[in-house]
Structure 1
Amino acid sequence: MSTGDSSRVIALLGAESTGKSDLADALARRLRRVQPCTAVPEYLREWCDTHERTPDPREQHHIAAEQQRRIEAALALAPDMLVVADTTPLMTAVYSEFVFQDHGLYGAALHWQQQAVGLTLVTALDLPWLPDGLQRDGPQVREPVDALIRAALTSAGIAYGVVHGEGPRRVEAALRAVVRWQPGLAAALDAGIIEDAVSGSRVRWRSRCLDCLDPDCERVLAGSDSVHR
């Protein structure tokens, strides 16, 4: 399958300690069985490890730009390369608002998300919070950050799926979302994924909808056939 860049990027967004990095690696490994695919790690993690601190407001633009550059470089590796991005510039914009009350990165980040990303997945808050060095602020920040992500996507009219489940179940849920987005991949993937993709189970879809931000409610509805428009 050879498509344009906007149909080759799968973006994983989510609050801290919601399994984005593990999911990005696992999803890329599964997709690599049927098509060239690579995962682009979160640049912020590398930046914090190198500088042994978190960035200040002036450094946020560089982090967003470098995350975007790395995703685009991965796309350029092959004309049919799928890219699973562990965050996009939009996450930097969200944290700039949350930490520094700076809304200045949203315009460019949302425009790029609209133009370059084919599938946006938000990782649900159903995993336990775990410490992870400089990048983790605590479980109390997850719900407000999750709300900011959803609000930003909704304001821009960007549809997204909310992925639930632990371990392999989370990966299977993401794969079902991929099949829904690119039905042409269905024949090469497991029959169970195909069947569940049709039923829409365990991936709750949202677009222009902020009717409920309660993660407990989402877990109840994760097995439904609900699609939000």
Structure 2
Amino acid sequence: MAPLVRVAILGAESSGKSTLAAALAERHGTVWVPEYLREFVETQGRVPVAADQFGIARMQVEREAAAAALARHFLFCDTTPLMTVVYSRHYFNGADAPLAALADAHQYDVTIVTAPDSPWIPDGLQRESESVRQLIHCRLLEELAVRRIAYLLVSGPLAQRLQQVDDWMSGRAAVLPR
């Protein structure tokens, strides 16, 4: 049996992560892991505070582990603990030690970043503004550079993004886990 390829899909708010994750999972006949933060905001009726960050990231990882049992070759993850670190630094002036450790320990085989090039759409409590979206995008790219994490930046409409991913992954086939 081939090892599972874990694909991190990162990006700022309203940049198409969920749409891309769902489409990639459908295309590859596998499952994807929705962003737990969305569920947290809906069920709690509020945005998270600093003390919630580690729990949100931990739940995301737990859901990835559960989905891995159902995945076929690829597991598409709509966000990761690293994205929680980026947001924690923005909103709370840093990430606590457990969150930082979780982000450091949880690695992915492929990282895809969604460009913030679609119209920004407010989404209740979870999204702030276009200017914050652009700032978070820049901070994410800086964090990936510091950590030396290679990534594919996808842009344009969904069909174009899917083609960019297909082209990039076919070029990386020799280096992906088998």
- TM-score, with normalisation over the residues of structure 1? 0.71
Out of 153, 157, 164, the position equivalent to 1:166 is 157
Equivalent residues of 1:45, 1:135 under 8 A apart: yes
Conserved 8 A contact 1:120-1:160: yes
1-structure distance, mates of 2:57, 2:37: 9
Structure 1, 41-50 or 69-78: larger mean CA deviation = 69-78
Q: Secondary structure at the match of 1:25?
A: helix
Correspondences of 1:11-30 after superposition (within 5 Å)? 11-30=8-27
Q: Distance in 1 between matches of 2:160 and 2:173?
A: 20
Alpha-carbon contact 1:14-1:20 (below 8 Å) kept? yes
The aligned amino acid for 1:182 is A
Give the total of aligned pairs.
174
Q: Alignment partner for residue 137 of structure 2, among 131, 146, 154?
A: 146
Q: Is 1:58 aligned to residue 55 of structure 2?
A: no
Q: Structure 1 residue 70 and structure 2 residue 70: aligned?
A: no
Q: Assess if the C-alpha contact under 8 Å between 2:33 and 2:78 holds in 1.
A: yes
Which residue in the other structure is 1:99 paired with?
A: 91
Deviation at 1:154, TM superposition (A): 1.4
In 2, the alpha carbon distance for the partners of 1:132 and 1:176 equals 32
Distance in 2 of aligned mates of 1:21 and 1:65? 19
Give the match for residue 47 of structure 1: 40
Q: Give the percent of matched residue pairs that are identical in Structure 1 and Structure 2.
A: 42
Return the index of the structure with the highest Cα Rg.
Answer: 1
CA–CA distance in 1 between the matches of 2:27 and 2:175?
15
| Distance apart, 1:108 and its partner CA | 2.6
Residue from 101, 116, 120 that aligns with 1:129:
120
Paired with 1:56 and 1:123, the residues of 2 have a C-alpha distance of 25
Equivalence for 1:88: 80
For 1:85 and 1:177, the matched residues in 2 are separated by 17
Instruction: Give unpaired runs (5+ residues) of structure 2.
Output: none
Give the AA of the match of 2:136.
V
Q: CA deviation at 1:165?
A: 1.4
SS at match of 2:116: coil
Deviation at 1:183, TM superposition (A): 5.3
Provide the C-alpha distance between the structure 2 equivalents of 1:179 and 1:28, rounded to a whole number of angstroms: 16
The alpha-carbon deviation at position 85 of structure 1 amounts to: 0.4
1:177 Cα deviation from its structure 2 partner: 2.4
Over 3 Å counting, the alpha-carbon distance change for 1:58 and 1:77 in structure 2 is same
One-letter amino acid of the counterpart of residue 15, structure 1: A
Q: Which runs of 5+ in 1 are unaligned?
A: 186-229
Deviation at 1:129, TM superposition (A): 0.6
Q: 1:53 corresponds to which letter in structure 2? A: R
Displacement after TM superposition at 1:100 (Å): 0.7
**Does the Cα contact within 8 Å between 2:17 and 2:114 map onto a contact in 1?**
yes
